[in-house]
Amino acid sequence: MKILVCISHVPDTTSKINFVDNNTKFDTTGVQYIIGPYDDYALARAIELKESLSSTVTVLNVGLAETEPTIRKALAIGADDAIRVNASPTDSYFVATQIAEHAKGYDLILMGRESIDYNGGVVHSMVGELLGLPSVSPVMKLDIDGTTVKMQREIEGGKESVETSLPMVAGCQEPIAEWKIPNMRGIMSARTKPLSVVEPKAVETAVNFKKYQLPPPKGAVKMVSEDNVAKLVSLLKNEAKVL
């Protein structure tokens, strides 16, 4: 069995977001990059399945050379080899097309439910559609029994049990598996694991990011004494007008 895990390379969840060049470019100053937190869940589940089903795990990232430390981290966590499609991930359709080019022949394609930069939550569905495969997201539990895949998917206010057969695409989230932290041996071996760099397929992007904006700053908080909760109620009613 062959598993492909698609990882995004995104600012750490504690990053302060800023833009430069007249709000047309993301400010990378002081920003730490990580494997997308949901993609990390996908990777963790893939490593578990690798152990129980003796499969191979390949990680794929669409990104420029700066993403290689993130890819090496995925190799240190336990993936066997990696592919980097050498292109800036400009829009979800572009990324999905690049992934679909390399995803043929894999039995299970795992991704995160959404990237935490653009939060589209769509690349997995697009890859599924491009390859004519079922795609399910957000998946919080995934088990394989022969060629049947049994999953639990989160829906508003609850969950759904979903079944399909391999090959398929899943967008993962917790608690599908526990994040894995690379150990020393993993880090050493990651250095020599194969990482192939391939050039992208030429595709037109479907959207164009023109400009960015930060939300307006929040005004100062108004404190209310704990002995006067009625005051809070009246402020919510008459000042904020939310009751």
Partner 1 sequence: MATLVFVESAEGKIKKTSLEAVAYAYAMGDSVTAIALGAVDKAELEAIGKFGATKILSVTDERLNQGVIRAYASVIVQALESEGADTLVLANSSLGTPVAANVAVKIGASLASNVVDLPDTSSGFVVKQSIYTGKAFAFVEMKNKKKVIGIRKNAVELKEVGANGEIINFTANLTDADFGTKITATEKATGDILLPEAEIVVSGGRGMKGPEHWNILEDLAKALGAATACSKPVSDMGWRPHHEHVGQTGVKVAPQLYVAVGISGAIQHLAGVNSSKCIVVINKDPEAPFFKAADYGIVGDAFTIIPKLTEAIKAAK
Ligand X SMILES: Nc1ncnc2c1ncn2[C@@H]1O[C@H](COP(=O)(O)O)[C@@H](O)[C@H]1O
Ligand Y SMILES: Cc1cc2nc3c(=O)[nH]c(=O)nc-3n(C[C@H](O)[C@H](O)[C@H](O)COP(=O)(O)OP(=O)(O)OC[C@H]3O[C@@H](n4cnc5c(N)ncnc54)[C@H](O)[C@@H]3O)c2cc1C
In the range 87-126, which residues lie near ligand X by CB under 6 A?
89, 92, 95, 111-112, 114-115, 118-124
Among 82, 111, 128, 190, binds partner 1 (CB under 8 A): 128
236 lies in the site for partner 1, by CB under 8 A: yes
Angle 223-226-230 (CA atoms, 0-180°, nearest 5)?
A: 85
Among 52, 54, 192, 225, binds partner 1 (CB under 8 A): 225
Nearest to 28 by CA among 153, 117, 123: 117
User: How far from each other are the two terminal CA atoms of the chain, in whole angstroms?
Assistant: 56
Q: Nearest residue to ligand X, using CB? A: 112
Whether the link from the prior residue into 215 is cis, omega within 30° of 0, is no
Q: Report the C-alpha gap between 185 and 75 in whole angstroms.
A: 11
Residues sharing a CB contact under 8 Å with residue 87, sequence separation 6 or more, in sequence order: 62, 63, 64, 94, 98, 199, 200
Contact set for ligand Y, span 20-59 (CB under 6 A): 37
Applying CB under 6 A, the site for ligand X has a residue count of 24
118 lies in the site for partner 1, by CB under 8 A: yes
* Phi then psi dihedrals of residue 154, to 5 deg: -80, 135
146 lies in the site for partner 1, by CB under 8 A: no
* Phi then psi dihedrals of residue 49, to 5 deg: -65, -35
209 lies in the site for partner 1, by CB under 8 A: yes
11 lies in the site for partner 1, by CB under 8 A: yes
Give the x/- contact pattern for partner 1 in 26-45, rule: CB under 8 A: -----------xx-------
- Please state the closest distance from residue 37 (CB atom) to ligand Y, in A: 4
User: With CB cut-offs between 5 and 8 Å by kind, which of ligand X, ligand Y, partner 1, none does residue 185 bind?
Assistant: none
Candidate ranges 67-75, 76-84, 103-111, 131-139; the one touching partner 1 (CB under 8 A): 131-139
- Please state the closest distance from residue 198 (CB atom) to ligand Y, in A: 30
Contact set for ligand X, span 19-58 (CB under 6 A): 36, 38-39
Write down the H helix ranges in 54-204. Answer: 68-77, 92-103, 123-131, 184-190
Tell me the DSSP string of 2-45: EEEEE--EEE-TTPPP-EETTTTEE--TT--EEE-HHHHHHHHH
217 lies in the site for partner 1, by CB under 8 A: no
- Please state the closest distance from residue 191 (CB atom) to ligand X, in A: 21
Binding site for ligand Y (CB under 6 A): 13, 37
